């Protein structure tokens, strides 16, 4: 019986482009949910005497946030900071998939007997890739978070918001605010892609390429699991990167532990999971669409590279034939 050949592997940048393309498409489609979950995560629970304060809108649910944002800022309010967000998504995912592919390749090369990595190894590989990606891309995330929490009157562009962060925070290092929380949060994509690989091996062992529905389902389930586990850290990171709440009187948080203590003290323990509804819905849709698109993009790249290799081999063959025919045409000169 003939053995089915596996698709030729892509270069590292091919996996990175496929992953970032899927991420940009997915996040663009569900961006309003990103706005809503950010607004829900940065707001502080109101006291009864502040219930009638209309200058600072308060949201009670995902739908309440959507209706109030549209009423106050129009439909465009649901897309505040979109350009910066997609730039951040593209750069973060390109960096993540680039380094994730690189560290996986290094791991397999180090193994004498090739074998699928264990769950623990998958988590470590994902965490390393995520840490490198965060170091390179967190400034865009900081600026985007600020844009998403700006009112219509205070709204600024990407560059102006970055300048505001630099002037009002710790100088240029203010663009790396929340870095510690972000580095801790590398466990989120590590859990996501580690769970994806384990689920893929469990449900579809030996299958080289998943169908679109299969990739969507596995991607969505793995992201939902990672979100539930890391939601308190996500809330703390958003709190670090946004403007401090009124109770802080303009004093920024020093670290994510301080944010979590503030939230528990003023709102209770369950508020560490505020915004988890739109966060899970967004993650479910984004990761599902991302993995579905990534699988398709990788397949298209494989076909493209096969076609390029075929053209090159045909050109080399023609060049070899031409060289051979010229060699035969040369008549050796002999002397008597």
Q: What is the pLDDT of residues 139-185, one digit of tens each?
A: 887 888 787 777 777 777 778 888 888 887 667 777 877 777 777 77
Q: What does 247-269 look like in DSSP terms, one character per residue?
A: GGTTPPPSSHHHHHHHHHHHH-G
- Using the predicted structure, report yes or no on whether residue 189 has a pLDDT greater than 70: yes
The continuous run of DSSP H or E covering 38 comes out as helix 31-42
Average pLDDT of the residues in 43-70: 73
- Using the predicted structure, report yes or no on whether residue 26 has a pLDDT greater than 60: yes
Query: In Å, what is the CA distance from 230 to each residue of 46, 132, 233, 280?
Result: 25, 19, 6, 11
For residue 252, the model assigns a pLDDT of 79
Q: Which of 136, 133, 139, 138 is nearest to 162 (CA)?
A: 139
CA angle (188 as vertex; 294, 195 as ends), nearest 5: 60
For residue 244, the model assigns a pLDDT of 79
Q: How many helices (H) and strands (E) does the chain have?
A: 11, 0
Q: Is 75 helix (H, G, I), strand (E, B) or coil?
A: helix
Give the tens place of pLDDT for each residue, 196-208.
888 888 888 877 7
Q: Find out whether 22 and 294 touch, Cβ atoms under 8 Å.
A: yes
pTM confidence score: 0.58
Alpha carbon distance 316, 293 (integer Å): 34
Band the pLDDT of 2: cuts 50, 70, 90: very low
Band the pLDDT of 135: cuts 50, 70, 90: confident
For residue 158, the model assigns a pLDDT of 78
Alpha carbon distance 327, 321 (integer Å): 10
Band the pLDDT of 335: cuts 50, 70, 90: low
**Region at 171 (left for phi over 0; alpha for psi -120 to 50; beta for the rest):** left
Average pLDDT, the chain: 79
Average pLDDT of the residues in 14-25: 83
Alpha carbon distance 69, 72 (integer Å): 5
The residue count for the chain: 336
Domains defined for the chain, CATH in brackets:
12-329 (1.50.40.10)
For residue 144, the model assigns a pLDDT of 83
Band the pLDDT of 296: cuts 50, 70, 90: confident
Q: Find out whether 165 and 143 touch, Cβ atoms under 8 Å.
A: yes
DSSP letter (8 states) at residue 275 = T
**Burial of 220: CB neighbours in 10 Å, binned 0-12, 13-18, 19+:** buried
Instruction: Tell me the percentage of the chain whose pLDDT exceeds 90.
Output: 0
């Amino acid at each position: 019986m003939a053995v089915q050949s596996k698709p030729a592997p892509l270069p590292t940048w091919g996996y990175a482009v496929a992953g970032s393309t899927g991420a940009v498409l997915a996040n663009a489609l569900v961006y309003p949910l990103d706005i809503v979950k950010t607004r829900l995560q940065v707001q502080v629970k109101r006291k009864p005497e502040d219930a009638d304060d209309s200058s600072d809108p308060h949201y009670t649910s995902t739908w309440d946030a959507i209706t109030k944002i549209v009423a106050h800022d129009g439909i465009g309010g649901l897309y505040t900071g979109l350009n910066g967000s997609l730039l951040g998504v593209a750069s973060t995912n390109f960096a993540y998939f680039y380094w994730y592919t690189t560290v996986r390749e290094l791991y397999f090369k180090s193994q004498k007997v090739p074998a699928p990595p264990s769950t623990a190894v998958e988590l470590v590989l994902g965490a390393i890739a995520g840490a490198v990606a965060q170091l390179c891309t967190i400034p865009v995330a900081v600026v985007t978070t600020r844009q998403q929490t700006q009112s219509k009157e205070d709204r600024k562009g990407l560059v102006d918001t970055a300048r505001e962060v630099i002037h009002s925070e710790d100088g240029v290092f203010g663009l790396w605010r929340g870095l510690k929380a972000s580095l801790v949060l590398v466990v989120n994509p590590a859990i996501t892609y580690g769970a994806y690989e384990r689920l893929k091996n469990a449900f579809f062992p030996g299958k080289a390429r998943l169908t679109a529905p299969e990739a969507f389902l596995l991607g969505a389930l793995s992201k939902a699991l990672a979100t539930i586990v890391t939601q308190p850290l996500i809330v703390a990171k958003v709190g670090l990167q946004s403007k401090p709440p009124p109770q802080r009187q303009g004093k920024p948080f020093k670290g994510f532990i301080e944010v979590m203590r503030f939230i528990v003290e003023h709102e209770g323990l369950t508020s560490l999971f505020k915004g988890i509804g739109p966060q899970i819905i967004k993650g479910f849709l984004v990761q599902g669409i991302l993995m579905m698109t990534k699988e398709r993009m990788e397949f298209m790249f494989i076909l493209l590279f096969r076609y390029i290799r075929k053209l090159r081999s045909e050109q080399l063959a023609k060049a070899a034939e031409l060289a051979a025919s010229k060699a035969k045409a040369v008549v050796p000169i002999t002397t008597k």
